[in-house]
Chains A and B, each alone.
Chain A
Amino acid sequence: MIRHITTVSLGAFVASAMIHGVAMAEDSEADIPSLSYETVLSDLSDPWDMAFLPDETMFFTEKCSGLSVRLPSGDVNALLGMEDTEGYSTTADDLFCYGQAGMNGVTIDPEFEENRFVYVYSASNLETPHTNRVIRLTVNDDFTDVSDRVDIIEDIPYKQEDSDHPFGDAGAHNGGRIRFNPGDGHVYVTTGDNHNGEIPQDPTSLGGKVLRVDRDGEAAPDNNEGGDFDPRIFTYGHRNVQGIAFHPDTHEAFVAEHGPWHSDEVKALTAGGNAGWDPRPNVGDRGDCPDDYCGYMPNQMEGMDPEERRAFMPMTDLERFPDAIQPAWDNDGLSQGMSSAVFLTGSQWKDWDGRLAVGFLGIGFGDTAEGHRVDVLDIADDALSVEVTTMDLPVPAGRFRSVVQGPDGNLYVARDEGEIYRIIPE
């Protein structure tokens, strides 16, 4: 069951007003924070992800530029540039962007104080076909440069050729979020299906998966049941996961995943689990599909009822995979570009303390509204239902690519258009 409090119904008991950029909320039943904001950085190029040290030092990636760091003073140092960039301390000419691919996620080693390790996820042309890689870097003492690059995962597939699909250019569906789980100390890596029908259910491919490895890229123990499975695979059968977060109490992993013109999904992961996405042709009562990928069928270029799409090409196919991981939420059957997710923690978030914030890129297709927003999910203990509240955001609507809570307890939100905002609850 999905219990959904929409912004409309919420409006019945929440009076909201925008006063000098401050969203004021009054509510006789729920204790919801008022939100104001500051612009931390602007004029960036497709900011993709952020990661913080305790002193508010912020590493951030730009998809076609590279890795930089914003110091607590506000100064920004450009650390690792991609091909054709200037002004970076170090440049890696094999790192490139094309379409959706480029430099994506960034995370910091839990033992950064000792080892100075940061990690980025990026497309690389060191091999052909090209691949996505998880790259470990060592940051120098004054945060002006990085060195000692080690590619701890080299073989995440990259879409090399264009195909006959929406967004069908090369470089599509990379996943790309990387996060350490404070519960087990391992790094989790989300990947995508490359518009390739075979990849998600292929136990040997790292695409369409969530990987779990140590800081050297070695598989975590007990990821899956073995057999043909690559030992680094934690869960499989995913489409394009761009969000992963860990419950603040249980450390259970939750992913947020783009849907295929329907059904963005949030789900709790279990080791070895199948998320149920299988876009191969000639399975599940489907016939041939364009370029052997049924992901947008049965009508991939025109709008149609999302429910009909779901029946034809389910995001989680419980008929063929009865044990597949069921979603806690499917965005009411719609796809609006669900991207990253983070659990909000701290009393400053009032009733939202412990709830999952989910950012949406927003994409309107057919009769689906664009839906640029950040939602707050109260996930049931069994992770099979949610209550949803939409944040009354004080910032301009846009493609919200990344949501990260900073050490100051505020929510940092990156917009594709070029900003990183600090959302301040009061």
Chain B
Amino acid sequence: MHRQLFLMIGTVLALGVVPAQADDVAAGETLYAESCVSCHGSAGRGMASFPALTGRSADYIVERLEQYRAGERVGSNTGLMAPHAAELSDDEIANLSAYISEEFQ
């Protein structure tokens, strides 16, 4: 899935479009749709064993994603989250966090 995202970004770059910047909500929305929506839902409400993201601050999301990326055990879903976080850049974490905190109040 992430590979597809990189391919897409590569295509965008090849077309000369300005790349996404940190805190880019639109870029975060794209990444969320790729990697997060199937468990956390389109409204960020969570479902089944997957927690809601509503009401979370950008700092909270950044901190959690950085923990997962660093290989820290955060909770019982770490095994699922860690592979997703492992490939995220600092900018992508910032974009995702900006989208989640703004969209899911």
Contact = CB atoms under 8 A, between A and B. Distances in A.
A162 interface: yes
B80 interface: yes
B48 A365 contact: no
B42 interface: yes
Contacts, number: 53
B78 interface: yes
Interface string A188-225: 00000000000000000000000000000000000000
Contacts of A370: 38
A372 interface: yes
A418 B42 CA distance: 10
B77 interface: yes
Contact of B47 (A46, A169, A301, A366): A46
Contact of B78 (A45, A63, A301, A416): A301
B1 A416 contact: no
Task: Please classify how large the interface on chain A is, using the bins under 10, 10 to 19, 20 to 34, 35 or more.
Answer: 20 to 34
B38 A398 contact: yes
Nearest to A167: B49
A270 interface: no
Interface in B34-57: 38, 41-43, 45, 47-49
A100 B79 contact: no
A99 B49 contact: yes
Contact of A417 (B47, B77, B79, B82): B47
Interface string A287-328: 000000000000011110000000000000000000000000
Task: Please classify how large the interface on chain B is, using the bins under 10, 10 to 19, 20 to 34, 35 or more.
Answer: 10 to 19
B48 A100 contact: yes
Interface string A124-166: 0000000000000000000000000000000000000010011
B95 to A, nearest CB: 21
B48 A361 contact: yes
A303 B78 CA distance: 12
A302 B1 contact: no
Given A370-B38, A372-B38, A399-B38, A166 B48 contact: no
A301 B48 contact: no
Nearest to A47: B47
B38 A300 contact: no
Interface in A251-301: 300-301
B88 to A, nearest CB: 16
Interface string B1-19: 1000000000000000000
Interface of A: 45-46, 63, 99-100, 162, 165-169, 172, 300-303, 361-366, 370, 372, 397-399, 416-418
